[in-house]
C-alpha cells in the first residue's frame, strides 16, 4: 500500500494516508512534473501503462511523480527521472511557482501541491515498463495539432499544463 504525505490547506504536513484514500477524499499531497526536451526542442511524452488507476494508456508528462514523505519537489523530480526514464543527471529549471491545483474526475479528486520542471536531455532513455508503456519525442507544433485533433488521448493535467506554459499553438 502506497502512503502519501498529506497537507493542510496552508501546506503543513498532517500525516500519512493511503493513496486511494488521498485521491478519493481530495486530500492535499505533493507532486513534481518534468518536461524533458531534447536540444532540438522536441518534448518527450510518456504513455501511461494500462493498469494505472487514473487515465491508463493516455499520453502524459515526460515524468509525473508523487513525493515520498519528507521529499522535496526537486528530489521527487530527480527520482522520477531515474525511476521512470533511467535519466541519472539533468539540470532542472523550475517552471513558475509551486501551484495548488484541484482536478476532479468521475471517482476521484486530485488536490496537488505541485512544481513543474524543465530539462534538456539528449542521451538514452530507458523507460521502466512497469510505469511507462511507451515514449515518443514530439515537436511542439506537431504536438499542438495532435492535441487539437485528439484531446482524449492525453491526461487532462498534461493538456492543462501545455496550455498554462503556452506550448500549444
pLDDT along the chain (169 residues), means of 10: 92 94 95 97 97 91 95 97 95 96 88 96 95 96 97 95 91
**∠ CA 167-157-39 to the nearest 5 degrees?**
35
Cell numbers for 38, please give them: 531534447
Query: Residue 120: what pLDDT?
Result: 97
**Is the residue at 27 inside a domain?**
yes
Query: Residue 73: what pLDDT?
Result: 97
H, E, C per residue of 83-119: HHHCCCCCCCEEEEEEEEEEEEECCEEEEEEEEEEEE
Query: Residue 133: what pLDDT?
Result: 96
Query: Residue 92: what pLDDT?
Result: 98
Asked if 28 contacts 53 with a C-beta cutoff of 8 angstroms, the reply is: no
Query: Residue 108: what pLDDT?
Result: 87
Specify the number of domains making up the chain.
1
**Is the residue at 115 inside a domain?**
yes
Asked if 36 contacts 85 with a C-beta cutoff of 8 angstroms, the reply is: yes
Assign residue 79 the CATH number of its domain: 3.90.79.10
Asked if 47 contacts 60 with a C-beta cutoff of 8 angstroms, the reply is: yes
Q: What is the pTM of this model?
A: 0.94
Q: Is the dihedral of CA 150, 144, 81, 13 positive or negative?
A: negative
Domain extent at residue 53: 3-164
Query: Residue 125: what pLDDT?
Result: 96
Can you tell me the distance from the alpha carbon of 6 to that of 22, in angstroms, rounded to the nearest whole number?
8
**Is the residue at 169 inside a domain?**
no
Amino acid at each position: 500500500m502506497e502512503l502519501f504525505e498529506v497537507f493542510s490547506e496552508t501546506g503543513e504536513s498532517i500525516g500519512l494516508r493511503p493513496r486511494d484514500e488521498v485521491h478519493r477524499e481530495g486530500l492535499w499531497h505533493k507532486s513534481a512534473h518534468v518536461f524533458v526536451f531534447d536540444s532540438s526542442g522536441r518534448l518527450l511524452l510518456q504513455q501511461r501503462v494500462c493498469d494505472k488507476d487514473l487515465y491508463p494508456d493516455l499520453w502524459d508528462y515526460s515524468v509525473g511523480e508523487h513525493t515520498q514523505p519528507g521529499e522535496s519537489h526537486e528530489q521527487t523530480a530527480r527520482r522520477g527521472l531515474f525511476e521512470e526514464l533511467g535519466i541519472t543527471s539533468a539540470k532542472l529549471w523550475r517552471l513558475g511557482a509551486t501551484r495548488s491545483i484541484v482536478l476532479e474526475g468521475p471517482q476521484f479528486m486530485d488536490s496537488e501541491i505541485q512544481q513543474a520542471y524543465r530539462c534538456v536531455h539528449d542521451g538514452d532513455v530507458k523507460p521502466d515498463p512497469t510505469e511507462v508503456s511507451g515514449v515518443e519525442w514530439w515537436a511542439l507544433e506537431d504536438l499542438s495539432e495532435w492535441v487539437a485533433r485528439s484531446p482524449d488521448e492525453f491526461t487532462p493535467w498534461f493538456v492543462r499544463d501545455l496550455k498554462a506554459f503556452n506550448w500549444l499553438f
